[in-house]
C-alpha cells in the first residue's frame, strides 16, 4: 500500500502491521482475520452437509459433528461476522464523518488484538482434547462441569477474551461517531451506515456485558466449583438461558444492523437517488435496537415459563416486524424509479431485501407461541436464522466488499467473476436453506448428526447439501477473484469510481494516512453528492492547510492481547489432567505481560508526531 511506504522508512513490513494504529490498516487486519475464520467455519459447514447428505452416513462421528456444529456457530457469530463488520466500520466510519482517525487509535488496535487472541484461544481447543460441543448457546447443564469437557473451558475463556476486544472496539466507535464528526456533519446528516454502526456499538456495550457476566458465572462453576447453575445446590440452570438470550437476541441485531447500513449505502449509490425516508430509517433503527432488548424470552418459549409471559414476549417480538417493515419499504422506494445499475454490489444489496423479508416472515411465525412448540429445535429454526444470517448479513457483507474494495485496495474486483459468484451463491443459498423449512416442518430436529432411512428426509437433505457445495464453490470464486483482480485490475486513480454520494468518496485513492489534508465542511446530507451538484465538485475545507498530528504505532496492543491469551490458557490448564508446566506459572506470566504492557503504556509518554506541511502538499500532489 502506498500509505505504508510513505510513513516507515526503516521498519519491516511485518513490524509495521503488528504495531499499526491506523484505522485503514486495522480494517485490513480485521478483514483478513474475519475471512480466515469465515473460511474455517464454512469448511465445517461443508463437512456437516457431507455427513447429512445421506441417511445414516458415517462420514463424521456424532461427537465430531457436535464439535463442528458448535464451532461453526460460535466462530461465525463471534469470530467471522463480527470482525468483518468491524473491518468495514473501521475503514468507513472515519472517512464518512470526515475524521482523520477513530477517537482512540491505540484502543482500536487493542480491540483488534484482544479479539484476535481470544479467537485463537477458542480455536486451539482442537489440539487439547477436542472443541466445545454444547452448541453455540452452551446451555447448562450440558456445558457445566458435570458433562462439558475441556473444550467448554476454551469456549468460556476464549469468548470472554474476544468479547473484551469487541467491547473496547465498540466503545471506541461510539466516541468516534459522537465526537469526531467534521464541522456541519450533524447527527441527522450522518450517513446511515454510521448510524447503524453507532447503534450496533451501543447494543454491543449493553449486550456483551451480560454475556461477560454469564461467561464469568459459568467459568466460576466450571473451574472454581461455583454452583450458580447447579439446581442440586440451589442454583438455577434457566438463569443461564436468560442471561445468554438477554445477550443473544441483541447480538443478532448487532450483526444485522451494520448489514442494513451497508445496504442503505449501496442501494442509493446504484439507484442514483437519495435514500428514501432517511429520518424514518434512523428512527426505525433506534426502535429496533430498543425492542431487541425486550424479546429474549422468545428463544425460551418451550422452557415452560407460563402463558402470560410467553404472550407478552410474543407480542413484543412481533412488534419488531413493524420498524423492520419500514426499512424494507424504504429500500424498495429508494430503488423505485431510480436509474438502477446492477453490478455485483447492487445485485447483492437488492437481493438482500427479499431474502431478508423471508427470514423476517419465518421469524414472526416462530414468535407465535403455540406453533413454536412445533417449530422449536427443528430445521425450521435453522432455516429462519440462515435466511437472516446468510441471505441478510452475508449478502450485505459481500455488497460492502464489492462497493468499498476500490477505496480500500485501489482497484476493483472483477465484475464477471463477481456476478458468477453472486448467482452461484444466491441459487446455492436458496437450495440449501429453503428446503430446510420443509425438513423442519416434517420433523427433522436440529443439531442431530444423522437420520434414518425411510423418514422421507433423504432427498431433501441431498438437495440441501448440493446447495451448500454451490455456496462453497461461490466462495472459492470470490477468492480467485481477489487474487485475479490484484494482478489484472486497472489501478484506480480517481476519487469516486462509482459516482457515489457520501464523504468517503471525496478522499483521494489510495487514501493518505491522514485521510483529509483539510477537514471538510459538510453542507448537506450526502455531502459529496451535494458538492458535485451544487458546488464545484470538491469539498470545501473547514480549516487552513496545516501540519497534521498523528499517533505513533505501538506493539503494546499486541502484547496485551498475547498476555490475555496466555492468562486464559493458564486458567484452562487448571482443568487439564497433566499440564506439562504448573498452571500458576502460565497464569502469572499472562497477568504480568497484560498488566505490564498496560503499565508501560501509562508511564511511557508518547505524543505522536507531526506530518510537516510540505510533505502533505507533496502527497496531495502525487495522488491527485
Partner 1 sequence: MSDDLSKPFSKSALTHEELLKINRERKIQIAAFACMIFLTLLAFIAVAMDMIAPGFTIPFILLLAVVQFALQLFYFMHLKDKDHEWPNAFMLTGIVVSTPALIALILLLGVTKY
Residues that bind partner 1 (CB under 8 A): 178, 202, 206, 231, 236-239, 242, 246, 290, 293-294, 296-297, 303-306, 309, 549, 605, 607
Question: Which one of ligand HEM, Cu ion, partner 1, none interacts with residue 411, CB within 5 to 8 A by kind?
Answer: none
376 is an interface residue for ligand HEM by CB under 6 A: yes
Q: Is the backbone peptide bond immediately before 141 cis, with ω within 30 degrees of 0? A: yes
**Minimum CB distance to partner 1, residue 236 (Å):** 6
Q: What separation in angstroms does the CA of 561 have from each of 85, 89, 117, 119?
A: 20, 21, 6, 11
What would the x/- binding string for ligand HEM be over residues 317 to 346, using CB under 6 A? x--xx--x----------------------
Closer CB to partner 1, 291 or 500, in the complex? 291
User: Taking each helix axis from N to C terminus, what angle separates 395-409 and 237-271, rounded to the nearest 10 degrees?
Assistant: 60
C-beta atoms surrounding 599 within 10 Å: 12
Q: Which residue is nearest to Cu ion (CB)?
A: 249
Q: Tell me which residue of 473, 434, 362, 458 sits closest to 43, measured CA to CA.
A: 473
Question: Which one of partner 1, ligand HEM, Cu ion, none interacts with residue 466, CB within 5 to 8 A by kind?
Answer: none
Asked if 11 and 20 touch (Cβ cutoff 8 Å), the reply is: no
**Minimum CB distance to partner 1, residue 384 (Å):** 24
Q: 385: burial class by Cβ within 10 Å (0-12, 13-18, 19+)?
A: middle
Asked if 229 and 239 touch (Cβ cutoff 8 Å), the reply is: yes
What would the x/- binding string for Cu ion be over residues 592 to 611, using CB under 5 A? --------------------
435 φ, ψ (degrees, to nearest 5): -70, -20
Q: Mark the segment that binds ligand HEM (CB under 6 A) among 167-175, 248-256, 521-529, 600-608.
A: 248-256
Closer CB to ligand HEM, 37 or 253, in the complex? 253
Closer CB to Cu ion, 26 or 297, in the complex? 297
HEC profile of 208-258: HHHHHHHHHHHHHHHHCCCCCCCHHHCCCHHHHHHHHHHHHHHHHHHHHHH
- Size of site (CB under 6 A) for ligand HEM: 24
Closer CB to ligand HEM, 29 or 468, in the complex? 468
Closer CB to ligand HEM, 45 or 381, in the complex? 381
**Minimum CB distance to ligand HEM, residue 367 (Å):** 4
Of 252, 281, 345, 394, the residue at the interface with ligand HEM (CB under 6 A) is 252
Asked if 344 and 413 touch (Cβ cutoff 8 Å), the reply is: yes
HEC profile of 578-619: CCCCCHHHHHHHHHHHHHHHHHHHHHCCCCCEEECHHHHHHH
3-state DSSP call for residue 518?
coil
- In the range 187-226, which residues lie near ligand HEM by CB under 6 A? none
What would the x/- binding string for ligand HEM be over residues 97 to 136, using CB under 6 A? ----------------------------------------
249 is an interface residue for Cu ion by CB under 5 A: yes
364 is an interface residue for ligand HEM by CB under 6 A: yes
Question: Which one of partner 1, Cu ion, ligand HEM, none interacts with residue 202, CB within 5 to 8 A by kind?
Answer: partner 1
**Minimum CB distance to ligand HEM, residue 517 (Å):** 39
345 φ, ψ (degrees, to nearest 5): -60, -45
Closer CB to Cu ion, 249 or 273, in the complex? 249
Residue 599 C-alpha cell reads as 503499565
Question: What residues does 445 pair with on adjacent strands?
Answer: 378
Q: From CA 269, how far away is CA 271, in angstroms rounded?
A: 6
Closer CB to partner 1, 293 or 329, in the complex? 293
* Angle at the Cα of 444 from the Cα atoms of 440 and 450, rounded to 5 degrees: 140
- In the range 133-152, which residues lie near ligand HEM by CB under 6 A? 137
Q: Is the backbone peptide bond immediately before 510 cis, with ω within 30 degrees of 0? A: yes
Q: From CA 152, how far away is CA 66, in angstroms rounded?
A: 12
**Minimum CB distance to Cu ion, residue 615 (Å):** 52
Q: From CA 98, how far away is CA 80, in angstroms rounded?
A: 28
Q: From CA 403, how far away is CA 74, in angstroms rounded?
A: 28
**Minimum CB distance to partner 1, residue 234 (Å):** 9
25 is an interface residue for Cu ion by CB under 5 A: no
Closer CB to partner 1, 236 or 508, in the complex? 236
Question: Which one of partner 1, ligand HEM, Cu ion, none interacts with residue 102, CB within 5 to 8 A by kind?
Answer: none
Asked if 169 and 200 touch (Cβ cutoff 8 Å), the reply is: no
**Minimum CB distance to ligand HEM, residue 208 (Å):** 16
Question: Which one of Cu ion, partner 1, ligand HEM, none interacts with residue 137, CB within 5 to 8 A by kind?
Answer: ligand HEM
Q: What separation in angstroms does the CA of 453 have from each of 62, 84, 234, 375, 499?
A: 17, 40, 44, 22, 56
Ramachandran assignment for 447, one of left (phi > 0), alpha (psi -120 to 50 degrees), beta (any other): left
255 is an interface residue for ligand HEM by CB under 6 A: yes
* Angle at the Cα of 210 from the Cα atoms of 232 and 252, rounded to 5 degrees: 115
Of 98, 360, 472, 512, the residue at the interface with ligand HEM (CB under 6 A) is 360
Q: Tell me which residue of 545, 543, 552 sits closest to 618, measured CA to CA.
A: 545
Asked if 154 and 73 touch (Cβ cutoff 8 Å), the reply is: no
Q: Mark the segment that binds ligand HEM (CB under 6 A) among 195-203, 204-212, 341-349, 378-386.
A: 378-386
What would the x/- binding string for ligand HEM be over residues 64 to 93, using CB under 6 A? ------------------------------
Q: From CA 20, how far away is CA 4, in angstroms rounded?
A: 10
Question: Which one of partner 1, ligand HEM, Cu ion, none interacts with residue 333, CB within 5 to 8 A by kind?
Answer: none
Q: Mark the segment that binds ligand HEM (CB under 6 A) among 43-51, 374-382, 433-441, 536-544.
A: 374-382
Contact residues: Cu ion, CB under 5 A: 249
User: What does the binding site for ligand HEM look like in residue numbers (CB under 6 A)?
Assistant: 137, 252-253, 255-256, 298-299, 317, 320-321, 324, 360, 363-364, 366-367, 372, 375-376, 381, 384-385, 388-389
Amino acid at each position: 500500500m502506498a500509505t505504508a511506504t510513505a510513513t516507515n522508512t526503516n521498519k519491516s513490513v511485518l513490524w509495521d502491521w503488528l504495531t499499526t494504529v491506523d484505522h485503514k490498516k486495522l480494517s485490513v487486519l480485521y478483514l483478513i482475520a474475519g475471512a480466515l475464520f469465515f473460511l474455517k467455519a464454512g469448511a465445517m459447514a461443508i463437512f456437516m452437509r457431507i455427513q447429512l447428505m445421506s441417511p445414516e452416513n458415517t462420514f463424521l462421528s456424532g461427537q465430531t459433528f457436535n464439535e463442528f456444529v458448535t464451532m461453526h456457530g460460535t466462530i461465525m457469530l463471534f469470530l467471522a461476522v463480527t470482525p468483518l463488520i468491524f473491518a468495514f466500520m473501521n475503514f468507513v466510519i472515519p472517512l464518512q464523518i470526515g475524521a482523520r482517525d477513530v477517537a482512540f487509535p491505540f484502543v482500536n488496535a487493542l480491540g483488534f488484538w484482544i479479539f484476535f487472541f481470544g479467537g485463537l484461544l477458542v480455536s486451539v481447543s482442537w489440539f487439547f482434547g477436542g472443541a466445545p460441543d454444547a452448541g453455540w448457546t452452551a446451555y447448562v447443564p450440558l456445558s457445566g462441569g458435570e458433562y462439558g469437557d475441556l473444550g467448554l473451558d476454551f469456549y468460556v475463556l476464549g469468548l470472554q477474551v474476544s468479547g473484551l476486544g469487541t467491547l473496547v472496539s465498540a466503545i471506541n466507535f461510539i466516541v468516534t461517531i459522537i465526537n469526531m464528526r467534521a464541522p456541519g456533519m450533524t447527527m441527522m446528516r450522518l450517513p446511515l451506515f454510521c448510524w447503524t454502526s453507532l447503534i450496533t456499538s451501543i447494543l454491543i456495550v449493553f449486550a456483551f456485558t451480560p454475556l461477560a457476566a454469564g461467561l464469568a458465572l459459568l467459568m466460576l462453576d466450571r473451574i472454581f466449583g461455583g454452583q450458580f447453575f447447579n439446581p442440586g445446590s440451589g442454583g438455577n440452570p434457566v438463569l443461564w438461558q436468560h442471561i445468554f438470550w438477554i445477550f443473544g437476541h441483541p447480538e443478532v441485531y448487532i450483526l444485522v444492523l451494520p448489514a442494513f447500513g451497508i445496504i442503505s449505502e449501496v442501494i442509493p449509490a446504484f439507484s442514483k437517488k437519495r435514500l428514501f425516508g432517511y429520518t424514518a430509517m434512523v428512527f426505525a433503527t433506534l426502535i429496533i435496537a430498543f425492542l431487541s432488548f425486550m424479546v429474549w424470552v422468545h428463544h425460551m418459549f418451550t422452557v415452560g415459563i407460563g402463558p402470560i409471559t410467553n404472550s407478552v414476549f410474543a407480542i413484543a417480538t412481533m412488534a419488531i416486524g413493524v420498524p423492520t417493515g419500514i426499512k424494507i419499504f424504504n429500500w424498495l422506494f429508494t430503488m423505485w424509479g431510480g436509474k438502477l445499475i446492477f453490478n455485483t454490489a447492487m445485485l447483492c444489496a437488492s437481493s438482500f431485501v427479499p431474502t431478508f423479508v423471508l427470514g423476517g416472515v419465518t421469524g414472526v411465525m416462530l414468535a407465535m407461541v403455540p406453533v413454536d412448540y412445533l417449530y422449536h429445535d427443528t430445521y425450521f429454526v435453522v432455516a429462519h436464522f440462515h435466511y437472516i444470517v446468510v441471505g441478510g448479513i452475508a449478502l450485505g457483507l459481500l455488497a460492502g466488499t464489492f462497493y468499498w474494495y476500490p477505496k480500500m485496495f485501489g482497484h476493483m474486483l472483477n465484475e464477471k467473476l463477481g456476478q458468477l459468484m453472486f448467482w452461484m451463491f444466491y441459487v446455492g443459498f436458496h437450495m440449501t436453506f429453503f428446503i430446510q423449512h420443509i425438513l423442519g416442518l416434517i420433523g427433522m430436529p436440529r443439531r442431530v448428526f444423522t437420520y434414518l432411512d425411510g423418514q422421507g428426509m433423504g432427498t431433501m437433505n441431498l438437495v440441501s447439501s448440493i446447495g451448500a457445495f454451490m455456496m462453497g464453490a461461490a466462495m472459492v470464486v470470490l477468492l480467485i477473484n481477489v487474487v485475479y483482480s490484484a494482478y489484472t485490475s486497472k489501478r484506480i486513480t480517481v476519487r469516486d469510481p462509482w459516482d457515489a454520494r457520501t464523504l468517503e468518496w471525496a478522499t483521494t485513492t489510495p487514501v493518505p494516512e491522514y485521510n483529509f489534508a483539510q477537514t471538510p465542511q459538510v453542507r448537506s446530507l450526502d455531502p459529496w453528492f451535494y458538492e458535485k451538484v451544487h458546488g464545484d465538485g470538491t469539498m470545501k475545507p473547514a480549516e487552513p492547510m496545516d501540519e497534521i498530528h498523528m499517533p505513533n504505532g505501538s506493539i503494546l496492543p499486541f502484547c496485551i492481547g498475547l498476555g490475555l491469551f496466555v492468562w486464559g490458557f493458564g486458567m484452562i490448564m487448571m482443568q487439564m489432567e497433566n499440564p506439562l508446566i504448573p498452571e500458576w506459572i502460565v497464569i502469572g506470566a499472562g497477568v504480568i505481560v497484560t498488566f505490564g504492557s498496560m503499565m508501560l503504556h501509562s508511564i511511557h509518554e508518547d505524543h505522536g508526531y507531526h506530518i510537516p506541511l510540505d510533505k502533505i502538499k507533496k502527497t496531495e500532489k502525487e495522488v491527485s
